[in-house]
Amino acid sequence: MKKLLLLLFSLGVFHFSYAQLPGIRAGINSGNFSDTNYNAKLGFHAGGYYRIGTGFISVEPGVQYSVKGYETNVAITGGVVSEKLTYVDIPLLVRLNIYEFLNVFAGPQLSLLMSRKYEADGVIDKSTDGIEGKDIAGVVGLGVSAAGGLNFQLSYDIGITSLNYYNKDVKNRVFKLSVGYDF
């Protein structure tokens, strides 16, 4: 029930944002947990944003669906462990427009856990009970604007709060490469 309410809330926020939506963005993620020797897991993200201000400084709230996680090997069997965590990310970015085509940005991000899929040696676990349902991160990045409303950005999400992942103090770390379009 909690996940259904969270999904409905997220869709409502996105629908409200869509009424004022001047841009969409999508791309690939490379996610991992901090303080582990796990391998990064490829995922994707997609969503929308609203940019307020057009001068030197602008503020950009947004909503996006994002797939994070990690991969590693089971020590005993050598089998692959794959963890996929899906989130609704809600960033609030401040952009400094250095040139008309180049900007840097930073800001906080709230991420709400939507689902989990853990796979190891043929066993699949979808329970989210052992992991924190929300994640607070800082986002930093570089953006480039091209002709016709097209834009590109490279960003890094730095988890601030612990995921309390089965009583382990780990945080999400995610590189994102995105393509966007300003309406």
CATH (domain of 52)? 2.40.160.20
Residues 6+ apart with CB under 8 A from 111: 66, 87, 88, 89, 90, 134, 135, 136, 137, 172
Instruction: Provide the domain limits for residue 44.
Output: 2-182
Each residue's pLDDT tens digit, 133-180:
999 999 999 999 999 989 999 999 999 999 998 889 999 999 999 999
| Percentage of residues of the chain with pLDDT beyond 70 | 89
**9-36: pLDDT as tens digits:** 555 555 444 445 689 999 999 999 998 8
Q: What's the chain's average pLDDT?
A: 89
pTM summary value: 0.84
Please report the pLDDT score of residue 18 as a whole number. Answer: 44
Q: How many domains is the chain built from?
A: 1
Contacts with 51 (C-beta within 8 Å, 6 or more apart), sequence order: 22, 23, 58, 59, 60, 95, 182
Of 17-31, 62-76, 81-95, 149-163, the range with the lowest mean pLDDT is 17-31
